């Protein structure tokens, strides 16, 4: 890849990077840094979570800021307060010897503290939209003179309903600032905002394969709903040092899975919307310190979690859409380390998985759950290795003494076995695990589709083929069994293609009856 030296950064910045241990720029940094340093255009940057977007804008902005400014020079808007704090910290860590003040401003923090810092003069404000608006209304923050506006994690701001707030804040700025928008995904609404509220901009995209996903091994297991928990335990037990996020769909599921894990002796905790902010911070701290190694969360609660080096992300339940799949798994395999993303699917969810796979342009391969015997053998092997290491390093004197005492009355095998049982209880017992039922998914079938248009709408077989091809890029020879009737029509597609088309219509025609549906379903109504 590139080097930081080639990007046009100052000596001071290069020193800072060396100290931080960043060896080479990430792809989004390679594209963004020279552009921000060189020209005058606005920027729209798309790259997944964990690809170093903060430094991509933070480094060049630091370079461009004036040390003697009396006004706020840059505003970074983030969707959550955790992110505001993290981004402010990261930018601070990049400033080196430059005399710049960078502060986070977010709801929940004391107003006095913020007013104090704002009065002293601030160069970069990193804040959440709500609190920034509070300050603008009180006239305690002035943004008329900013040179840079960064909208960080724009897709999350959109998801969280902050777009109106962002527009409101933009009104208090000036027309000549440079705006930079960063996002992990680029839904249409975001592009529309860019078109409408930004100047001439450069679009920088780092595609999924470029960093995160390529470092993430993606697999799925077919498992019935009732066996998911057992499957989860087996996966965790196979690992030497599992450190991961488990995604569930609802708060109730999150609590249930976390409690189950705790009952079974794992260091797990739960994170969802009903957990108070202070509790959330405590949990995240424990997770960062690895006192908690399994964090069960909903998508919403997991937003803004900035934890690195996860060994696993597990989709206990399938995500809603391909974007959230990419978002979830983007949390493993950061900064050059390989991670594993595991998705559980029930037989009914196979279609949805195919759709996610195609839309996210990613490969998710099928794997077989570890067998109980294999897990136990792995565990035994691990215990042996660890014991041998202790033997090599020589056990502490008081234990040797105890050992001699025990051996005067008993056989060595018995004493050792007793000690292992004492340490591991039923952990090496096959009965500790339950059976997992085999579920097979039929993927070969075809699907008959109902099309809500017929001869009277001018539909012909040729037009229908053309239409289907254009919508989803499906090849001619897969489109079979066309039957055009007066008011409606039928067509048959292979399973996966049918699924794509159905998803397409489900997603694009909200509120109205979809143009194409499954033939059987429609007849039932
Ligand atoms: P994003 O905003 O794209 O989700 P972040 O900016 O939060 O990503 O960066 C993710 C992690 O990667 C952070 O811990 C950051 O310090 C680290 N990081 C950023 N750039 C580099 C780099 N060039 N080399 C190594 N680590 C980096
Ligand atoms: Mg970020």
pTM: predicted TM-score of the whole model, two decimal places:
0.52
pLDDT at 443: 62
220: CA distance to ligand 2 center in Å? 28
Atom of ligand 1 nearest to the CA of 58: 6
| The pLDDT value given to residue 159 | 84
Question: How far is it, in rounded angstroms, from Cα 480 to Cα 436?
Answer: 39
Work out which ligand 1 atom sits closest to the CA atom of 54: 6
Q: Is 407 helix (H, G, I), strand (E, B) or coil?
A: helix
Contact between 42 and 201 under an 8 Å Cβ cutoff? The reply is yes
pLDDT 10s digits, 3-59: 899 999 999 999 999 888 887 888 899 999 999 998 789 999 998 777 889 999 999
Q: What distance in angstroms lies between residue 53's CA and the mean position of ligand 1's atoms?
A: 7
CA of 110 to the centre of ligand 1 (A): 29
CA of 475 to the centre of ligand 2 (A): 39
Q: How far is the CA of 84 from the centre of ligand 2 (A)?
A: 10
The answer to whether the CB of 469 falls within 8 A of the CB of 483 is: no
Q: Coil, strand or helix: which one is 139?
A: coil
Q: What is the pLDDT of residue 212?
A: 43
First to last CA, the chain: 57
User: Can you tell me the distance from the alpha carbon of 311 to that of 298, in angstroms, rounded to the nearest whole number?
Assistant: 18
With 0-12 CB in 10 A as exposed, 13-18 as middle and 19+ as buried, what is 331? Answer: buried
Which residue's alpha carbon is nearest to atom 23 within ligand 1? 25
Q: What is the pLDDT of residue 524?
A: 36
The per-residue pLDDT for 525 is: 34
Q: Could you tell me the strand order of the sheet in which 480-484 lies?
A: 480-484, 489-494, 446-451, 516-518
Q: Can you name the CATH fold of 5-206? A: Rossmann fold (3.40.50)
Q: CA-to-CA distance for 113 and 106, rounded, in angstroms? A: 11
Give whole-number Cα distances, 225 to 229, 236, 266, in Å: 8, 18, 21
Residue closest via CA to ligand 1's atom 19 equals 52
Give 87 Cα–ligand 1 centroid separation in angstroms.
Answer: 10
pLDDT at 336: 55
What is the topology classification, in CATH, of domain 212-370?
Rossmann fold (3.40.50)
Give the pair of three-digit tokens for residue 312. Answer: 């696993």
Residues 398, 205: Cα–Cα separation, whole Å: 62
Which ligand is located closest to the Cα atom of residue 48?
A: 1
Nearest-atom index, ligand 1, CA of 153: 2
46 lines ligand 1 (CB under 6 A): no
Rounded distance from Cα 342 to ligand 2 centre (Å):
23
What's residue 330's pLDDT? 76
State how far the Cα of 122 lies from the Cα of 143, in Å rounded to an integer. 11
The verdict on the CB of residue 53 being under 6 Å from ligand 1 is yes
The bound ligand whose nearest atom lies closest to the alpha carbon of 94 is 1
Are the beta carbons of 246 and 317 closer than 8 angstroms? no
pLDDT value of position 298: 92
Cβ(131)–Cβ(113) below 8 Å: no
Per-residue model confidence as pLDDT tens digits over 123-144:
999 999 999 999 999 999 999 9
Q: Tell me what pLDDT residue 50 has.
A: 74
What per-residue string of b and e applies to 415-443 under the rule 16 or more CB within 10 Å gives b?
A: eeeeeeeeeeeeebeeebbeebeebeeee
Burial of 8 (0-12, 13-18, 19+ CB in 10 A): middle
H or E, element range at 148 = strand 148-151
- The segments of the chain whose pLDDT lies below 50 read 209-214, 509, 521-525
Instruction: Please tell me the residue having the least CA distance from ligand 1 atom 14.
Output: 308
Residue 351 three-state SS? helix
330 Cα nearest atom in ligand 1: 4
Quote the pLDDT of residue 440: 65
For every residue of 213-271, DSSP letters joined together read GGGEEEEEEE--GGGHHHHHHHHHHHSSS--EEEE-SSHHHHHHHHHHHHHTT--EEEE
Instruction: Tell me the C-alpha to C-alpha distance, in Å, between residue 280 and each of 242, 250, 295.
Output: 21, 17, 11
Query: Does CATH number 3.40.50.300 belong to domain 446-521?
Result: no
Tell me the best of 83, 204, 213, 335 to mutate to test the pocket of ligand 1, counting ligand atoms within 8 Å of each CB and taking the most.
Answer: 335
Q: Taking the domains of the chain in order of start, what are their residue ranges?
A: 5-206, 212-370, 373-432, 446-521
Determine the number of helices (DSSP H) and then strands (DSSP E) in the chain.
Answer: 21, 18
Determine the pLDDT at residue 210. 41
């Amino acid at each position: 890849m590139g080097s930081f030296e080639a990007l046009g950064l100052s000596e001071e910045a290069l020193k800072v990077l060396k100290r931080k241990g960043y060896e080479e720029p990430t792809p989004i940094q390679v594209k963004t840094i020279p552009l921000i340093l060189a020209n005058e255009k606005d920027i729209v940057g798309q790259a997944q979570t964990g690809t170093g977007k903060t430094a991509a804008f933070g480094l060049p902005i630091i370079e461009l800021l004036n040390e003697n400014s009396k006004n706020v020079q840059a505003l970074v808007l983030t969707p959550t307060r955790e992110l505001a704090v993290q981004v402010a910290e990261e930018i601070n860590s990049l400033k080196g010897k430059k005399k710049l003040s960078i502060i986070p401003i977010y709801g929940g923090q004391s107003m006095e503290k913020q007013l104090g810092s704002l009065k002293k003069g601030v160069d970069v404000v990193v804040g959440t939209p709500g609190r920034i608006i509070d300050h603008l209304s009180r006239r305690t923050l002035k943004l008329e003179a900013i040179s840079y506006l960064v909208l960080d994690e724009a897709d999350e701001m959109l998801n969280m309903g902050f777009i109106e707030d962002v527009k409101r804040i933009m009104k208090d700025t000036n027309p000549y600032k440079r705006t930079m928008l960063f996002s992990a995904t680029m839904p249409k609404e975001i592009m529309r905002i860019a078109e409408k509220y930004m100047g001439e901009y450069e679009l920088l995209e780092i595609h999924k394969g470029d960093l995160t996903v390529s470092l993430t091994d993606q697999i799925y297991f077919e498992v019935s709903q009732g066996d998911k928990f057992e499957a989860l335990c087996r996966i965790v037990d196979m690992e030497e040092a599992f450190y991961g996020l488990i995604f569930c769909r609802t708060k109730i599921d999150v609590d249930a899975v976390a409690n189950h894990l705790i009952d079974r002796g794992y260091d797990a905790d739960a994170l969802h919307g009903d957990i108070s902010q202070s509790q959330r911070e405590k949990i995240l701290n424990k997770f960062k310190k690895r006192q908690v190694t399994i964090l069960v969360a909903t998508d919403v609660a997991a937003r803004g979690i900035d934890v690195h080096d996860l060994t696993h992300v597990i989709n206990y339940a399938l995500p809603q859409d391909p974007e959230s799949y990419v978002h979830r798994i983007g949390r493993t395999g950061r900064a050059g380390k390989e991670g594993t993303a595991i998705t559980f699917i029930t037989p009914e969810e196979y279609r949805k998985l195919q759709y996610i796979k195609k839309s996210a342009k990613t490969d998710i391969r099928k794997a077989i759950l570890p067998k109980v015997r294999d897990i136990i053998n792995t565990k035994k092997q691990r215990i042996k290795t660890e014991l041998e290491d202790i033997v090599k390093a020589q056990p502490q004197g008081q234990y040797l003494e105890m050992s001699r005492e025990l051996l005067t009355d008993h056989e060595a095998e018995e004493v050792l076995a007793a000690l292992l049982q004492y340490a591991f209880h039923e952990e090496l017992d096959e009965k500790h695990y339950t059976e997992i039922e085999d579920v097979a998914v039929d993927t070969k079938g075809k699907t008959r589709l109902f099309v809500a248009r017929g001869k009277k709408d001018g539909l012909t077989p040729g037009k229908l083929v053309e239409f289907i091809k254009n919508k989803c890029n499906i090849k001619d020879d897969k489109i079979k069994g066309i039957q055009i009737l007066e008011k409606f029509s039928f067509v048959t597609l292979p399973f996966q293609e049918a699924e794509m088309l159905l998803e397409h219509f489900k997603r694009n025609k909200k509120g109205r009856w979809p143009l194409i549906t499954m033939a059987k379903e429609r007849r039932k109504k």
